[in-house]
Amino acid sequence: MVSPVIFVVLLGTWFSSAQAQTVGVAVPLSPPSSAATLNPSLLSLSIEQDRWPEWVGTTSSSRFLLNTLDNLKLRTGHPPSIRIGADSEDHTDFDPSVQFSETVFPAITTAKPYPEASNIVVGDGFYNIVRHLPSGTHVISGINFRDNNLTAAFLQAQSIHKAFSASGVQVVLDFIEIGNEADLYGSTRARTGTWNVAEYTKEWTAFAQNVSAVAGISSTSSTKFIGGGFFGSGHSSTSFSPQGLFASGILNSAQGKLITSISQHHYSGSFCSGADGLLQTMMTKSTIRSNLNPFVSDITATRAKGLDYVLGETNSFACHGAPGASNTAGAAIWTLDYMLFAGQIGVSKVYFHQGIGYRYNMIQPATLPRSIIDGTTLATSLHPHVQPAYYAAIIATEAIGTSGSTKVVELNINDARVSGYAFFEQTTLKRAVLINSEAFTSSSSGPRSSKNIQLSFTGSGTAPRTMTVKRLAINFADDDHGLTWGGQSFETVDGTISGTLSVQTMNVGSPVTLQATEVILLSFN
């Protein structure tokens, strides 16, 4: 006989489950032909160059940064790849008398509490500190193209080459990047006359000829050029796009033949003029796909040339993110779905842009004296810490795993809020990620909604019988802290994990609850 108290609890559980919508999710037991093989460093970081020394450390490495990167390396066996460059890449000069860097910054504004440097002068030490990154890190290093100064570019490339070829350095220079978002040079008056992709290719080739000689880039070297890095894409043979680059003949020159990867930049929106960023819009499944699907033709054109394709700089809202969106728990939902969808349409690496004090950062590696929201001085400075989007990095790397050849396919889920991905090692289904992008915020009315996910399995292979369920627990989508992954937190003073792991084991035939603003990782046994 069930006691009255227990009966109430059971009834409440049944009633809640009965009210939740059931969503059927068919999972293939083996990878379909459309499954993409994921780069273990799918999650990568683009670092604004002006404050690079604060990221990685000067006379010694940043323990906080190393811990946060090692958390990710532990899950895939590979650290995130790092791009050092972006806007300040094109505001950089070289002076051998400078130890690390000297910077000039514009005025602080509400929209940009931590603006990029308007001028940066670097010396050899600026590039030498790359040795402080985790062993095995692969790097893109950018040089100034905007100023059209071959001497400065030569000196930067020379210093970069010395830094990476020095004895004891255990990081790898994959690429030199010549310029940042050169498609915008015409609008910024960095170039006169008609600035088009043909003119770009002509100037790029001249720069590359000088840079390749001093940087040791050749057909037999491990370091190559990365091409493009444009802010947008016209998706045509006459525009700033991969198609435009190829039509302009960039691959025909000796230097162009040293391009092995194409980079494009993309933001889902803009906060540059102070427009509001809507949290639910950012998180929405259809918004993410409409942002990335236009690049499929660019990816296809690039792959057809035998080249790799990366999103070399990306994040939620341009100009460092939108307050109340980019810095919130909802950004973890957006980041995860955006990254995994990019991976399954052929993007090799997704370089999420980071700075010091940027709202969309995964990692805030330095002490912040000002609010990232409006630039006001804080009563107590914020010590280094992770932001909610960092949890997306943890989940993605955990889902990819250490096999080095994990495949992924997006699951066909007939629900506007639920997206999902299945992960395979060799021919075996190993894991699935399910994401509910409905924003449950601190101002939401009514109870938190949920879905009952009912799994089924398709194709050949032995269906699993049990699974473990690991949850990203979020109180509200507009929270800027307080998340846990499997009951554990990364919001610690040193960036290491804390708390006791909490997962649930259940039969695969039983429905699993997925709340609004929640992620679950299913590991099949």
pTM value is 0.95
Residue 336 CA to chain centroid, in angstroms?
Answer: 9
Cα→Cα distances 39→346, 359, 437, Å? 10, 27, 25
Statement: residue 15 has pLDDT above 60: no
Determine contact, residues 92/102, Cβ cutoff 8 Å. no
Q: What is the CATH number of domain 40-89+108-116+125-310+335-348?
A: 3.20.20.80
SS3 305: coil
d(CA 349, CA 138): 12
Averaged over 392-409, what is the pLDDT? Answer: 98
pLDDT tens-place string over residues 232-243: 899 999 999 999
Mean pLDDT of the chain: 94
d(CA 242, CA 301): 7
Determine contact, residues 75/395, Cβ cutoff 8 Å. no
pLDDT tens-place string over residues 160-199: 999 999 999 999 999 999 999 999 999 888 998 789 999 9
Instruction: Please provide the DSSP assignment of 401-447 as one string.
Output: -SSS--EEEE-----SSEEEEEEEETTEEEEEEEEE-----TT--SS
Averaged over 398-411, what is the pLDDT? Answer: 98
- Would you list the domain boundaries of the chain? 40-89+108-116+125-310+335-348
Residue with tokens 């009315």: 445
Q: How confident is the model at residue 122 (pLDDT cuts 50, 70, 90)?
A: very high
